[in-house]
Amino acid sequence: MELFWYIILMSMLAIYVVLDGYDFGAGIVHLFFAKTEKDKKAITNAIGPFWDANEVWLIAAGGVLFFAFPTLYASSFSGFYLPLMIILWLLIFRAIGLELRGQVHNTMWEAIWDKAFGIASLLLALFFGVALGNVVRGVNLGNVVDGVSTHEAHYFFLPLWNPTFSPHAESLGVIDWFTLLLGVIGVVSLTIHGANWIIFKTNSGLNERLKRVVFSLNIVLLLLVVVSLFAWHIIEPRPFHNFLAHPWLWVFPLTAFTGLFGLFKVRSFQKDGMGFLFSSLFLLGGLTSTVASIFPKVLPSTNSINPDLTLYNVAAHEYGLSVGVYWFIIAVVLVAAYMFIQYRVFKGKMDDVGYGEH
């Protein structure tokens, strides 16, 4: 039953990364590439009917985490308190940037909220990549100092960074060179993903330029992925042990590289949705490969005093997990119906939606 809920949780996070990921990417494109009012409107129209519904997946994943893995919920929400608060404020500023921009038709007013939307999107992409880096690297569970655990085994707390900026320091920070590398990968990959969504959902004059941007950024992304694989060996001496023990897991890295190499043909795709398909494959493959590499760990321990947190030692009682399945089935049916209707109503190009007009 623990494995079932773990798959559900990871699936919800994967859906969130793909769906809200194109929102973040669209915000980054808006910040750097939208120079005219027409281009800005095209971008907000492309995500307008979807962005708030997409964020619900993050809330739902948090609910499943609280229900199915309460120890992990308590540990991570206290240990990552500072970055979580930053993410919360960034989500707020991103939302009000979208909603308030059209309330007053003044150049300065619109410029302020354009920046709020774009910068918040950029930093969210960065912080979510950094968050993934923290999960891969692990944390100092129990806050071990000089070989002595100063707190209970599942407790930790991280400052934003430590003076050494090293992922091997005893007193770790949220941001170090390794987690920042994954953060940059997050920014580049979501910029590509957002650009592909804009190409897919609009006939904007930006589209041809965005295809060239996607191609160029994909070269950068490929180089960053190669660098991250070497960096991974520094963090984990045996990073592919799960893949060697279970060869079927190679389907996840294969999915990621299929998406990555497929994006090099973005300028020749006949259908606008193909780029979005390949960037989705990269995001799904990258996330699932990361999860598979550390399984069954959900939060590794960087010390030898306290054990890793795994899906088995952080899960709720078997009875509660079993009862929750029935409610989950009801929720899945409702969400599936909602998403089907939403994407059915807003299928096709979104140039004439007029989102944010007041």
CB 196 within 8 A of CB 21: no
Provide the pLDDT for residue 163.
84
What single DSSP character describes residue 235?
H
The pLDDT of residue 357 is above 70:
no
Q: How confident is the model at residue 193 (pLDDT cuts 50, 70, 90)?
A: very high
pLDDT digits (tens, 9 = 90+) for 101-116: 777 777 888 888 889 9
At residue 356, the pLDDT reads 60
Q: How many CB atoms lie within 10 A of CB 180?
A: 18
Alpha-carbon distance 164 to 167, whole Å?
9
Q: Name which of 68-72, 152-156, 210-214, 296-300 the model is least confident about.
A: 152-156
**Cβ–Cβ under 8 Å, residues 114 and 40:** yes
Instruction: For residue 167, say if its preceding peptide bond is cis, omega within 30 degrees of 0.
Output: no
The residues, any chain, with a CB within 8 Å of residue 109's CB and separated by 6 or more, are 101, 103
Quickly tell me which residue has 């969400």 as its tokens. Answer: 335
358 has a pLDDT exceeding 70: no
pLDDT digits (tens, 9 = 90+) for 42-62: 888 888 888 888 888 888 899
Q: Which amino acid would we find at residue 51? A: W
Q: Dump the DSSP string for 273-318.
A: HHHHHHHHHHHHHHHHHHHHHHTTEEE-BSSSSSPPEETTTS---H
Distance (Å, rounded) from C-alpha 267 to C-alpha 141? 47
- Residue 150 CB coordination number (10 Å): 11
Instruction: Say how many residues make up the chain.
Output: 358
Distances (CA, A) of 78 to 12, 82, 188, 206, 309: 22, 9, 29, 43, 15
Which tens digit of pLDDT belongs to each residue from 206-241?
888 999 999 999 999 999 999 999 998 888 888 888
- Pick from 195, 66, 71: nearest CA to 125: 195
| 307-313 contacts at long range (C-beta below 8 A, 24 or more positions apart) | 307/141, 307/153, 308/138, 308/141, 309/71, 309/72, 309/75, 309/141, 309/154, 311/2, 311/3, 311/6, 311/69, 312/2, 313/71
Rounded to the nearest 10°, the torsion over CA 280, 261, 131, 100 is -50
Model confidence band, residue 355 (pLDDT cutoffs 50, 70, 90)? low
The pLDDT value given to residue 151: 80
Report the Cα–Cα distance between both ends of the chain, in Å, rounded.
Answer: 49
Q: How many H-runs (helices) and E-runs (strands) does the chain carry?
A: 12, 4
**Which has more pLDDT, 144 or 294?**
294
Q: Where are the domains of the chain?
A: 2-345
Strand 309-310 versus strand 148-149 pairing type: unpaired
Using an 8 Å Cβ cutoff, are 155 and 125 in contact?
no
Average pLDDT, the chain: 88
Asked if 54 contacts 95 with a C-beta cutoff of 8 angstroms, the reply is no
User: What does the alpha-carbon distance between residue 60 and residue 21 come to, in Å, rounded to a whole number?
Assistant: 16
| pLDDT band at residue 148 under the 50/70/90 scheme | confident
In angstroms, rounded to a whole number, what is the distance separating the alpha carbons of residues 186 and 131? 10
